[in-house]
A and B are shown apart, each in its own frame.
Chain A
Amino acid sequence: MTTQIIPVNRDVLAEKRVAAECFRAERTRQGTLVVHLMSSPGAGKTTLLQATARLLRERYRLAVLVGDLATERDAERLRPLLPAMQITTGGACHLEIGLVEPAFARLDMSPLDFLFIEDVGNLVCPASHDVGHHLRVLVQATTEGDDKAGKYPKAFRTAQALVINKIDLLAHVPFSIEVATADAHRIQPDLTVLHVSALTGAGIAEWCRYLENERQRLLAGREKERG
């Protein structure tokens, strides 16, 4: 019997990332942009998805996977507009690739243009997990306060876009878009920031154009690799 020191030098979540990488690569191959939506509870992810689906569904094949601890409420709201599969996590406060893959398989649809993954309302845990996404979008409501980026650095650090929602309420809340944007750019200088009201529709067309551009970039990157 000997005592051995085995060097590993691996991220503890490396294995899960491999599965996520495979999922992402397969979606790239199929031309599906996977968009991961994260926010605090009530910031407006589902309402934003409803508004997005209304605008995009005529021209694109869309679907959504929704994570919640309990109920199918979000999926039920979305189903009239796009195919929606609910992932009821029970106790888990975040989605992981291990939950996303089987749910996606159950969707059983021919190649999509956009796959949305709406995470559990939580700015903490989802940030540490790769759900096989191309794009991570944070939704921050004007009603939440403009100091969230510094308080939830991992969420903002790992995102590519920030959607400031509920701009229709700006007159009634002490929220500064400038302060929130500066705070966000301190943590993630490359963040694209958009201002919307999912309820009134303000800014939704621009948000959808952003999504279309991101998908075009994905397809262009794919062609480059093939060529």
Chain B
Amino acid sequence: MHEVSLVGALLEQVRRLAQEHQATAVEEIHLEMGPLANVEPVLLRSAFEQLRSGPLFAKCRLCLMAVPLVGQCDRCQQRITLAELDFRCPDCGTGVRVVQGEGLILRRVTMKTRETT
């Protein structure tokens, strides 16, 4: 259910991008997700198959990249890869700020366009 909502939002964004660049086809959508994105890749792909429609997405490939959870301790000024779900800085115990791995990020889109670059 959640993946359906995400894919809906994703396809809307990509459609708008396609319009801006006068694209006739989207070839690849590159996504990045971390442990806190609450995304199950299998369900995401299934939602994509469900919601893709029209010639724009007919040959589109969904590329998913998993990234680790990275936090920043503002007190120690260090970046920490969070191997397990413990959000306290291992050195000073302060709560860290998550800088990677929290959402589903649309990194880039490869499209066939009429534009000349």
A150 to B86, CA, bound (A): 9
Q: Is the CB of B95 within 8 A of A6?
A: no
The answer to whether B61 has its CB under 8 Å from any CB of chain A is no
- Chain B residues lying within 8 Å of A5, measured Cβ to Cβ, are 108-110
The answer to whether A105 has its CB under 8 Å from any CB of chain B is no
B110, chain A: closest CB distance, angstroms: 5
Q: Is the CB of A4 within 8 A of B117?
A: yes
Q: Is the CB of B105 within 8 A of A3?
A: no
A185 to B93, CA, bound (A): 11
The answer to whether A12 has its CB under 8 Å from any CB of chain B is yes
Q: Is the CB of A13 within 8 A of B103?
A: yes
- Chain A residues lying within 8 Å of B111, measured Cβ to Cβ, are 3-4, 6
User: Chain A 48-86, CB within 8 Å of chain B: the 1/0 string?
Assistant: 000000000000000000000000000000000000000
**Chain B binder among A25-33, A107-115, A121-129, A213-221:** A121-129
Q: Is the CB of A153 within 8 A of B13?
A: no
Q: Known contacts A188-B87, A190-B95; decide if A124 and B38 are in contact (CB<8 Å).
A: yes
- Chain B residues lying within 8 Å of A157, measured Cβ to Cβ, are 36, 87, 98
Q: Which residue of B lies closest to A11 (CB)?
A: B103
Q: Which residue of B lies closest to A5 (CB)?
A: B110
A11 to B83, CA, bound (A): 22
- Chain B residues lying within 8 Å of A189, measured Cβ to Cβ, are 87-88, 93-95
Q: Mostly helix, strand, loop or mixed at chain A's interface?
A: mixed
- Chain B residues lying within 8 Å of A9, measured Cβ to Cβ, are 105-108
A96 to B8, CA, bound (A): 14
Q: Is the CB of A11 within 8 A of B85?
A: no
The answer to whether B112 has its CB under 8 Å from any CB of chain A is yes
Q: Is the CB of A8 within 8 A of B106?
A: yes
User: Chain A 1-28, CB within 8 Å of chain B: the 1/0 string?
Assistant: 1111111111111011000000000000
- Chain A residues lying within 8 Å of B17, measured Cβ to Cβ, are 6, 8
The answer to whether A148 has its CB under 8 Å from any CB of chain B is no
Q: Is the CB of A1 within 8 A of B87?
A: no
The answer to whether A208 has its CB under 8 Å from any CB of chain B is no
Q: Is the CB of B104 within 8 A of A13?
A: yes
The answer to whether A209 has its CB under 8 Å from any CB of chain B is no
Can you report 9 residue pairs joining A to B where beta carbons are below 8 Å apart?
A1-B112, A3-B112, A3-B113, A4-B23, A4-B115, A7-B108, A13-B103, A92-B5, A189-B93
A residues with a Cβ closer than 8 A to B are 1-13, 15-16, 91-94, 96, 124-125, 127-128, 150, 153-154, 157, 185-190
B residues with a Cβ closer than 8 A to A are 1-2, 5-6, 9-10, 12-13, 17, 21, 23-24, 27, 31, 35-36, 38, 85-88, 93-95, 98, 103-117
